[in-house]
């Protein structure tokens, strides 16, 4: 049975020969991205929709690639971290995450950036509360939450970021592994 399908990935039309695996099971978007197309920025964390490491965009909406079946993506428009830059120029979020050093091990970073990109599509200048709410389901075991928040603020043209924050006498916010 022919289970090929076409979708758009990072602005390029993709024809996938088989939306099912060799056992006839539907494949996830995450499987196809990482294991067939070689796009490794989208991470496999829990694989069960619990950690946010696999967050990508469908149109401007954040989705979890580990939970999306390829058979539901015919004609879809998907963007991964690899497609967020513009002709090699980093997206404002990518630049801000680097500027703020908003990563430690970096495992969660791709998902956080993609979730933040969806947020900025909704709110050009999100409040701190909106950022915290948007990112609350993206887990970070290293506890870089404050730097991530500062990076999103910076990317949206608000404030001058964490370096200014740290130069004051105020201590950084405590980390509790959640936003
Ligand atoms: S790998 Fe998809 S939510 Fe954790
Ligand atoms: S930077 Fe290590 S899990 Fe977030």
**Mutation test of ligand 2: which of 44, 51, 107 has the most ligand atoms closer than 8 Å to its C-beta?**
107
The atom number, within ligand 1, closest to the CA of 64 reads 2
Q: What is the pTM of this model?
A: 0.89
Residue 34 scores a pLDDT above 50: yes
8 A C-beta contact, residue 92 and residue 149: no
Residues 120-149, mean pLDDT to the nearest whole number: 97
CATH of domain 92-167: 1.10.150.120
Per the structure block, which two tokens stand in for 104? 């430690």
8 A C-beta contact, residue 19 and residue 11: no
Tell me the percentage of the chain whose pLDDT exceeds 90: 79
* Cα separation values, 55 from 23, 64, 73, 137, Å: 26, 5, 15, 10
Residue 45 scores a pLDDT above 80: yes
What's residue 167's pLDDT?
Answer: 38
Residue 174 scores a pLDDT above 60: no
What's residue 21's pLDDT?
Answer: 87
- What confidence category does residue 22 fall into, taking pLDDT thresholds of 50, 70 and 90? confident
CATH of domain 5-83: 3.10.20.30
Query: What are the boundaries of each domain within the chain?
Result: 5-83, 92-167
């Amino acid at each position: 049975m022919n289970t090929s399908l076409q979708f758009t990935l990072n602005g390029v039309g993709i024809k996938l020969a088989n939306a099912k695996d060799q056992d006839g099971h539907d494949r996830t978007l995450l499987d196809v991205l990482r294991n067939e197309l070689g796009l490794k920025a989208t991470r496999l964390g829990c694989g069960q929709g619990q950690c946010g490491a696999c967050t990508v965009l469908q149109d401007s909406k954040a989705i979890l690639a580990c939970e999306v079946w390829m058979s539901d993506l015919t004609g879809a428009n998907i963007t991964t971290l690899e497609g967020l830059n513009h002709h090699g120029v980093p997206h404002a979020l990518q630049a801000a995450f680097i500027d703020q050093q908003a990563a430690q091990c970096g495992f969660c970073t791709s998902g956080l950036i993609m979730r933040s990109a969806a947020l900025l599509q909704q709110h050009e200048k999100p409040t701190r509360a909106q950022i915290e709410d948007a990112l609350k389901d993206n887990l970070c075991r290293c506890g870089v939450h404050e730097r991530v928040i500062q990076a999103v603020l910076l990317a949206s043209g608000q404030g001058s970021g964490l370096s200014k924050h740290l130069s004051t006498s105020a201590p950084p916010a405590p980390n509790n592994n959640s936003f």
